[in-house]
Amino acid sequence: MVKKTQIEDTYAEAFEGIYSRVIVTADDEETLRKVAEDATATPSIVIGRIEGGIEKWLSRKETPNKRKGVILQFWGGIDPKKTFSDSVRKFEIELSYRIRQDILVKPFTAVFDALPDAEGKMDMMERVGHCGDGYEWTEKRYGRDVIVVPIMVPDFIIERYLGYAHGVMGANFWIMCKTKETVKKAGEKALQAINEIEGVITPFDVCSAGSKPETRYPWIGPTTNHPYCPSLRRKLGESSKVPKNVNHIPEIVINGVSMQAVKEAMKVGIEAAISVDGVMKISAGNYGGKLGDYKIYLRELFP
């Protein structure tokens, strides 16, 4: 049972994003795992691109073409200075790069939409289908409209229209750890618990480099959250915010299809992490409302 004294009285900031949810299938497990890991390997929202994560592995009975599969989520930011359609367009372009460079190039792969309640649809012909250089074609397979892209290891299949919707991204919690071993054990337990929650991903898994919006070098994007770097404790003196006996502060970042899903994932992840010896307390990243519109108060997850 979680004691509220183990949870810092603070909140995690989160913000709204655009996401797409797809099913990827392959002929064998090794290829499927490589596809899933490669396509979601580089979380890049903080540098204006996209990020992704593995939501769930699927059995043959759960996929359109009766092969083993995986549900992947891909996320893009919403630029408040531009129209929403502009943000969708940018997301579509970035998503096409992930599909073309990380999925299409793997033998015998296919991509299907997995967002039945989509707010809108993106036509994959322009930026993925046309990889067939005009020789691509459309047909009906598995009850879906698909594009067949002829390639040298025939052939890549992608559902023509992939859905998108609004979701919640950037929710997080910090695990205040005493030792390296604690980082590993608490991180693994937290991820295992979160993976049981439908509709969420952890784009960084266990993140070692929590950041902050303010920086001396804005041209490179967010930089280290220096008040929480244990190695700077002596140098910063009273400005350091690292608690006593805490030597490592890994972060778990969560994106989800709804606030309810995100909160449930945070709750089970915190419960799992706090059960590990050497976890001193749980906190979260917030930036005075500068980063996101949502505030998720940690203690309210444990009424």
270-300 pLDDT, tens digit each: 999 999 999 999 999 987 777 778 999 999 9
277 & 231 share domain: yes
- Please tell me whether residues 27 and 139 are part of one structural domain: yes
Single out the residue in 145, 165, 185 at which a domain terminates: 165
Measured CA to CA, the distance from residue 211 to residue 226 in angstroms comes to 8
CA distances 233 to 121, 223, 249, 283, Å, are 49, 17, 13, 18
User: 161 with 209, same domain?
Assistant: no
Residues 156 and 214 in one domain: no
Question: What pLDDT is recorded for position 3?
Answer: 85
pLDDT band, residue 50 (cuts 50/70/90)? very high
| Same structural domain, 191 and 153 | no
As a whole number of angstroms, the distance between CA 67 and CA 48 comes to 34
Q: Do you know the residue count of the chain?
A: 303
pLDDT tens per residue, range 160-217:
999 999 999 999 999 999 999 999 999 999 999 999 999 999 999 999 999 988 899 9
Half-sphere exposure of 68 (CA within 13 A, CB side): 10
Q: How confident is the model at residue 48 (pLDDT cuts 50, 70, 90)?
A: confident
Q: Give the per-residue pLDDT at 133.
A: 98
Same domain, 49 and 92: yes
Identify the CA nearest to 225 among candidates 172, 261, 277: 172
| Percent of the chain whose pLDDT exceeds 90 | 91
What pLDDT sits at residue 221? 86
The residue among 165, 186, 202 that closes a domain is: 165
146-to-123, 149, 181 alpha-carbon distances in Å: 11, 10, 47
Quick one: pLDDT at residue 138?
98
pLDDT band at 2 (very low <50, low <70, confident <90, very high): confident
Q: Vertex 20, ends 17 and 26: CA angle to 5°?
A: 145
The H or E element that residue 270 is part of is: helix 259-274
Q: Do residue 48 and residue 176 come from a single domain?
A: no
Strand locations in 96-155 (E): 110-113, 120-123, 137-141, 144-149
Same domain, 179 and 158: no
Domain that holds residue 297: 4-13+169-301
pLDDT band at 81 (very low <50, low <70, confident <90, very high): very high
Q: What is the pLDDT of residue 145?
A: 98
Domain of 185, CATH number, reads: 3.30.70.520
Q: How many domains does the chain have?
A: 2
- pLDDT score recorded for residue 272: 98
Domain boundary pick from 165, 185, 214 = 165
pLDDT in tens, 103-117: 999 999 999 999 999
User: Does this model's pTM top 0.85?
Assistant: yes
Q: How far apart are CA 194 and CA 253, in angstroms?
A: 11
| β pairing state of 200-201 and 144-149 | unpaired
Looking at the structure, tell me whether residues 143 and 125 fall in a common domain.
Answer: yes
Give yes or no: residues 160 and 173 share one domain: no
CA distance 100 to 147: 13
Q: Are residues 160 and 174 in the same domain?
A: no
State the chain's mean pLDDT as an integer: 96
Same structural domain for residues 233 and 203?
yes
Residue 287: predicted pLDDT: 79
Q: Sort strands 156-159 and 110-113 into parallel, antiparallel or unpaired.
A: parallel
